Amino acid sequence: MNGLAVILADAWRIALLTAAAPIIGSVLLLAIARLTGARWTGIDRLGSLAAWLVAGGALLGLGQIGVDAPVHLKPWMSWWGVGLRMGLAGLVMAYAAGRLRAAASTTFAGVTLALYTALATPLASDWMLGQVPGHPVSAIGMMLTVEAIAAAAAVMLVAGWGTLPTRQDLSRLMVAALLGLGYLTFMDFLIIWFGNLPSRVGFYLDRSTPVMVALVWAAVLSGLVAPVGLLSLVRGERGRRAAGGAALVGLLLFNCWWVAGGVVAVLLGAVLSVLLAGGATVLLRRREVAHG
């Protein structure tokens, strides 16, 4: 029973991480645009889903089911501890998104980014490392940030939202964020593997099975090689849409590999991610119809 609970929890974590990333990224992009004066349009559509981060964050507590945390971390990494923290974080992000969509001041945008920066590491630790409590990744906050920005930009490109200059800007920002995620992940691996840190090497040993190696290489090809190639070789809207789609697939594969709950959890997590994405798409279309 415990094994089944771990599989379900890992699958749920994969799905929530994949579904939440573009919404978190939209909040960050709204704040960046407001603070810098960038005329990015259409991002507020994704920002309208920020209220779901409250429920999604709270439900992330279910991902702690079956996780064997060290004694000193048991209260902090318990299902109720993670659920409470992430629910509150979702509430703050939803509030920020609402204000930013209503053209908040540059001061508010700056405070939002400063607060996110201060809390990015514990926030990302819950989202991306809750399944391995006690395992430190110094760049985890930046990893979540670049994944979120890449995911939000990719959704914008696939959906064709915003003006042409907006999509052109976001296509370049998406590639930069994807390269950032790849760099940060590889550097963490490099430091642990070649730095002779045996207490931490187990994290990557668990992800070195043939299936997981194939998964991470598929993520690299889809999430890094394909977007760059498509944007370079296929001009215009078709190239941007295809690059965004490839990036989203690559990010899903990365999340499956990073959580690494085994083949069954990976497959189930991928299915749940697609279902959540489909539900978000239907919700956005209904809102568009309702608002004309």
CA distance 148 to 227: 16
pLDDT digits 0-9 by tens, 152-184: 999 999 999 999 999 999 999 999 999 999 999
86-90, 130-134, 173-177: segment of lowest average pLDDT: 130-134
The dihedral through the CA atoms of 76, 95, 27, 115 has a sign that is negative
Evaluate if residue 34 carries a pLDDT over 80. Answer: yes
Closest to 58 measured CA to CA, from 80, 38, 83: 83
71-80, 97-106, 147-156: segment of lowest average pLDDT: 71-80
DSSP 8-state code for residue 223? I
Query: In total, how many domains does the chain have?
Result: 1
Q: What angle do CA 152, 276, 134 make, to 5 degrees?
A: 75
pLDDT digits 0-9 by tens, 35-72: 999 999 999 999 999 999 999 889 988 888 878 888 88
Evaluate if residue 261 carries a pLDDT over 70. Answer: no
Q: What angle do CA 127, 114, 53 make, to 5 degrees?
A: 35
Evaluate if residue 292 carries a pLDDT over 60. Answer: no
Cβ neighbors of 30 (< 8 A, separation 6 or more) are 43, 44, 47, 97, 100, 101, 109
CA distance 13 to 35: 32
| pLDDT computed for residue 2 by the predictor | 65
CA distance 116 to 70: 27
Boundaries of domain holding 15: 2-290
